[in-house]
Structure 1
Amino acid sequence: MAPNDSAETTGEATSTVVGRRKAARYIVPVAVAGVAAATIGLVPALASSGDPDLPEITAQQLVEKIAASDEEQLSGTLKISTDLGIPSLGGLAGSFVPGAQGGGGASSAAPETKLMELASGTHTLRVAVDGPDRQRLSILGEGSEYSVVHNGDDVWAHDSGSNQVYHARSEGADGKAGKHAAPEGVPATPGELAEEALAAAGDTTSVTVDGTAQVAGRDAYQLLIKPKQSGSTIGSVRIAVDASTGVPLKFTLAPSSGGKAAIDAGFTKVDFRKPAASSFSFTPPKGAEVTEADELSAGAAKNGMDEKARKDVAALGEDFKGLDVIGEGWNAVAEVELPGGAGLPAEGSGDMPAQAQQFLDALGDKVTGDFGSGTVFRTRLVNALMTDDGKVYVGAVTKDALVKAADAAE
Structure 2
Amino acid sequence: MAPYEPEQDTSEAGDLRVGRRKAARYVVPIAVAGVAAATIGLVPALATSGDPDLPKISAQELVEKIAASDTQQLSGNVKISTDLGLPSVGGFAGGFAGGGGGDRGEDGGGSAADPKSKLMELASGTHTLRVAADGPDKQKVSVLDDAAEYSLIHNGDELWAYDSASNEAYHAKDAGAAASKGAGKDAAKDLPKDVPATPKDFAEQALKAVDSTTSVKVDGTAQIAGRDAYRLVIKPKQSGSTVGRITVAVDAKTGTPLKFTLTPSSGGAAVVDAGFTKVDFGKPSAATFDFTPPKGAKVTEADEHADRSGDFKGKDQLKGKDQFTADGLDGLNVIGEGWNSIAELKLPGGQGLPTAGSGDVSPDAQKLLDSLGDQVNGKFGSGTVFSTRLINALVTDDGKVYVGAVTKDALVKAAGR
- Residue 274 of structure 1 is matched in structure 2 by 283
- Residue 304 of structure 2 is matched in structure 1 by 295
- Residue 327 of structure 1 is matched in structure 2 by 336
- Residue 40 of structure 2 is matched in structure 1 by none
Shift of the 23–224 alpha-carbon distance from structure 1 to 2, 3 Å rule, reads closer
CA positional deviation for 1:356: 1.6
The within-5 A match list for 1:366-377 is: 366-377=375-386
Measure, in 2, the Cα distance between the counterparts of 1:27 and 1:348.
Answer: 44
- Residue 163 of structure 1 is matched in structure 2 by 167
Measure, in 2, the Cα distance between the counterparts of 1:154 and 1:315.
Answer: 32
The within-5 A match list for 1:11-410 is: 13-15=14-16, 16-17=18-19, 18-19=21-22, 20-21=25-26, 23-26=28-31, 50-86=50-86, 87=88, 88-89=93-94, 93=98, 97=102, 105-172=109-176, 179=185, 180=188, 183-300=192-309, 317=326, 319-345=328-354, 348=357, 350-408=359-417
User: Contact 2:33/2:122 (CA < 8 Å) preserved in 1?
Assistant: no
* CA deviations over 1:363-409 (Å, ceiling 9, x no partner): 1111111111111111110001111111010011111111111111x
User: Contact 2:325/2:331 (CA < 8 Å) preserved in 1?
Assistant: no
User: Contact 2:31/2:140 (CA < 8 Å) preserved in 1?
Assistant: no
CA positional deviation for 1:14: 4.7
Measure, in 1, the Cα distance between the counterparts of 2:193 and 2:183.
Answer: 18
Measure, in 1, the Cα distance between the counterparts of 2:50 and 2:224.
Answer: 12
- Residue 10 of structure 1 is matched in structure 2 by 11
Aligned pairs, number: 382
* CA deviations over 1:194-220 (Å, ceiling 9, x no partner): 100110111110001000000000000
User: Contact 2:159/2:175 (CA < 8 Å) preserved in 1?
Assistant: no
Measure, in 1, the Cα distance between the counterparts of 2:249 and 2:379.
Answer: 44
Shift of the 285–238 alpha-carbon distance from structure 1 to 2, 3 Å rule, reads same
Measure, in 1, the Cα distance between the counterparts of 2:82 and 2:120.
Answer: 12
- Residue 42 of structure 2 is matched in structure 1 by none
User: Which one is further off, 182-191 or 322-331?
Assistant: 182-191
CA positional deviation for 1:91: 9.0
User: Contact 1:322/1:337 (CA < 8 Å) preserved in 2?
Assistant: yes
The residue identity in structure 2 corresponding to 1:8 is D
Shift of the 231–151 alpha-carbon distance from structure 1 to 2, 3 Å rule, reads same
Shift of the 177–252 alpha-carbon distance from structure 1 to 2, 3 Å rule, reads closer
User: Which one is further off, 83-92 or 396-405?
Assistant: 83-92
- Could you list the runs of 5+ residues in structure 2 that have no partner in the other structure? 35-47
SS at match of 1:238: strand
User: Contact 2:250/2:258 (CA < 8 Å) preserved in 1?
Assistant: yes
CA positional deviation for 1:293: 0.9
Measure, in 2, the Cα distance between the counterparts of 1:199 and 1:381.
Answer: 18
* CA deviations over 1:148-178 (Å, ceiling 9, x no partner): 1111111111100000011111344686997
User: Which one is further off, 371-380 or 11-20?
Assistant: 11-20
User: Which one is further off, 123-132 or 81-90?
Assistant: 81-90
Measure, in 2, the Cα distance between the counterparts of 1:94 and 1:222.
Answer: 32
SS at match of 1:223: strand
Measure, in 2, the Cα distance between the counterparts of 1:148 and 1:95.
Answer: 19
Shift of the 237–12 alpha-carbon distance from structure 1 to 2, 3 Å rule, reads closer
User: Which one is further off, 337-346 or 18-27?
Assistant: 18-27
User: Contact 2:105/2:111 (CA < 8 Å) preserved in 1?
Assistant: no
* CA deviations over 1:218-262 (Å, ceiling 9, x no partner): 000000011111111111000000000000000000011111100
User: Contact 1:168/1:294 (CA < 8 Å) preserved in 2?
Assistant: yes
The residue identity in structure 1 corresponding to 2:246 is V
Task: Report sequence identity in percent.
Answer: 60
User: Contact 2:75/2:279 (CA < 8 Å) preserved in 1?
Assistant: yes
Shift of the 25–403 alpha-carbon distance from structure 1 to 2, 3 Å rule, reads farther
Shift of the 49–4 alpha-carbon distance from structure 1 to 2, 3 Å rule, reads farther
User: Contact 1:346/1:388 (CA < 8 Å) preserved in 2?
Assistant: no
- Residue 38 of structure 2 is matched in structure 1 by none
Shift of the 108–379 alpha-carbon distance from structure 1 to 2, 3 Å rule, reads same
CA positional deviation for 1:11: 7.0
User: Contact 1:335/1:392 (CA < 8 Å) preserved in 2?
Assistant: yes
* Structure-2-length-normalised TM-score: 0.84
- Residue 33 of structure 1 is matched in structure 2 by none
Measure, in 2, the Cα distance between the counterparts of 1:320 and 1:113.
Answer: 23
- Could you list the runs of 5+ residues in structure 1 that have no partner in the other structure? 30-47
SS at match of 2:75: strand
